[in-house]
C-alpha cells in the first residue's frame, strides 16, 4: 500500500477513535467558539523545515534544505452537526535554501555544486465539507471535506537559471475539532492530496548561451498533510507536517532561440541535448503562530 495512504488511514483511525458514542453522549448543538459565532479569521507567521530531494543516480544529486519563514492567512466556517464546513487558506514564503547538488557539463561530466537557492513558495486552497458527527462531552465535531488547491514554487539556484513548478491538487480530508474550556480548543486535521496538472518551466534564457526556455509536464504523485492546531483565547499554535512528491516529467529537446537544436558530441557521436525533470520528494514540518478572531 502507498505510504501516503497508510499515513492518512492511520491518522483517520485515530481521529475516529475519539468519536465512539456512549450512552452518556448527546449531540453537541452549540459553537466550538466561546463567542457562539461559527466563522473565524486567522493570520500569522510560519517557521518550517524544507527538505527537497531529487531521485538521481550517483554521483548526480540535487537537494534543497533549510529553515524557512513565511505567513499564513485563513478564513473558515465551522458549526455543529449537521453543518456546512468551508475554508479558504493562503500561504506565502520568500526565503533561501542551501542547494547541495551537482553540475553537468555538455560532455556529460558531473561535478559537485554547492550554492544558495532563492525560493518563492505559494499555496492557495479552498475546501468545502460537511460536519456529520458532533458530541457534547466534551464538545467536539467531526468533518469530512474536499476542495481544490494550487501550489507554485519558483526555484533559482544562484549562478544558474530559474525553474517554475506548479500543480493543482484535490484534498480528501477528515478534521476533528474539540473544545476543552472557554479559553482552550483544538483540532486534528489530516488529508490526502491528489495531484494533477503539474508542469515546470525552465528558464534557460537566464543563461548566456542563447537557449530557449523549456516547458515540461510533471508526473502526478499522491501527497499528504496533517496538522494539530491549538487555540488559546485569540492565539493559534499549529504544528504541521506535509509530504509531496513529483513523478518524472517527459523529456524534450533543447533548442537555441533561432530554433536550431543544441548538438553535443560524446565519443565523437552527435546528439541533440535534451532535458527532463527527475522524480522528487519534499518533506516539510513546522509551526504556524498567529491570532484568530471569531465573527
Residue 16 belongs to what H/E stretch? helix 3-17
Which one is predicted more confidently, 57 or 26?
57
Q: Which three cell numbers stand for residue 154?
A: 519558483
Q: pLDDT band at residue 37, thresholds of 50, 70 and 90?
A: confident
Q: Considering its fold, how many domains does the chain have in total? A: 1
Q: Which three cell numbers stand for residue 13?
A: 483511525
CATH of the domain at 207: 2.40.128.100
How far is CA 108 from each of CA 59, 63, 177, 248, 274, rounded to the nearest angstrom? 12, 20, 55, 20, 12
Residue 154 belongs to what H/E stretch? strand 139-157
pTM equals 0.87
Report, as an integer, the average pLDDT of 177-201: 93
Cα angle value 272/274/275 (rounded, 5°): 170
State the pLDDT at residue 266.
83
State the chain's mean pLDDT as an integer: 89
State the pLDDT at residue 22.
42
Instruction: Report pLDDT digits (tens) over 93-122.
Output: 999 999 999 998 888 889 999 999 999 999
State the pLDDT at residue 132.
85
Q: What DSSP designation does 212 have?
A: P
Ranges assigned E (strand) in 180-250 = 184-202, 214-217, 222-227, 230-232, 235-246
Scored b (16 or more CB within 10 A) or e, 23-50 reads: eeeeebeebbbeeeebebebbbebebeb
Instruction: Report pLDDT digits (tens) over 89-101.
Output: 999 999 999 999 9
- Domain span at residue 63 reads 3-294
Instruction: Look at strands 62-77 and 39-54 and give their pairing.
Output: antiparallel
Instruction: Report pLDDT digits (tens) over 272-288.
Output: 999 999 999 999 999 99
Amino acid at each position: 500500500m502507498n505510504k501516503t495512504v497508510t499515513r492518512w488511514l492511520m491518522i483517520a483511525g485515530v481521529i475516529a477513535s475519539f468519536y465512539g458514542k456512549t450512552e452518556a453522549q448527546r449531540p453537541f448543538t452549540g459553537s466550538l467558539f466561546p463567542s457562539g459565532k461559527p466563522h473565524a479569521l486567522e493570520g500569522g507567521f510560519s517557521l518550517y523545515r524544507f527538505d527537497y530531494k531529487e531521485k538521481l543516480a550517483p554521483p548526480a544529486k540535487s537537494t534543497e534544505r533549510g529553515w524557512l519563514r513565511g505567513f499564513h492567512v485563513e478564513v473558515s466556517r465551522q458549526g455543529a452537526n449537521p453543518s456546512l464546513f468551508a475554508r479558504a487558506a493562503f500561504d506565502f514564503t520568500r526565503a533561501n535554501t542551501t542547494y547541495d547538488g551537482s553540475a553537468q557539463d555538455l560532455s556529460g561530466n558531473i561535478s559537485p555544486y554547492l550554492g544558495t537557492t532563492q525560493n518563492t513558495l505559494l499555496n492557495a486552497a479552498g475546501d468545502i465539507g460537511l460536519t456529520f458527527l458532533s458530541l457534547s462531552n466534551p464538545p467536539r465535531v467531526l468533518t469530512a471535506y474536499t476542495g481544490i488547491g494550487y501550489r507554485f514554487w519558483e526555484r533559482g539556484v544562484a549562478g544558474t537559471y530559474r525553474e517554475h513548478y506548479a500543480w493543482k491538487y484535490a484534498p480528501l480530508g477528515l478534521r476533528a475539532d474539540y473544545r476543552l474550556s472557554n479559553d482552550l480548543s483544538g483540532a486534528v486535521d489530516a488529508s490526502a492530496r491528489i495531484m494533477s496538472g503539474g508542469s515546470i518551466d525552465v528558464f534557460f534564457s537566464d543563461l548566456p548561451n542563447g537557449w530557449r526556455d523549456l516547458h515540461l509536464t510533471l508526473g502526478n504523485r499522491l501527497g499528504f498533510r496533517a496538522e494539530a492546531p491549538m487555540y488559546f483565547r485569540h492565539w493559534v499554535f499549529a504544528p504541521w507536517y506535509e509530504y509531496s512528491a513529483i513523478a518524472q516529467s517527459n523529456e524534450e529537446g533543447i533548442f537555441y532561440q533561432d530554433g536550431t537544436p543544441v548538438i553535443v558530441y560524446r565519443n565523437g557521436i552527435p546528439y541533440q541535448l535534451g532535458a527532463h525533470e527527475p522524480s522528487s520528494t519534499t518533506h516539510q514540518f513546522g509551526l504556524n503562530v498567529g491570532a484568530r478572531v471569531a465573527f
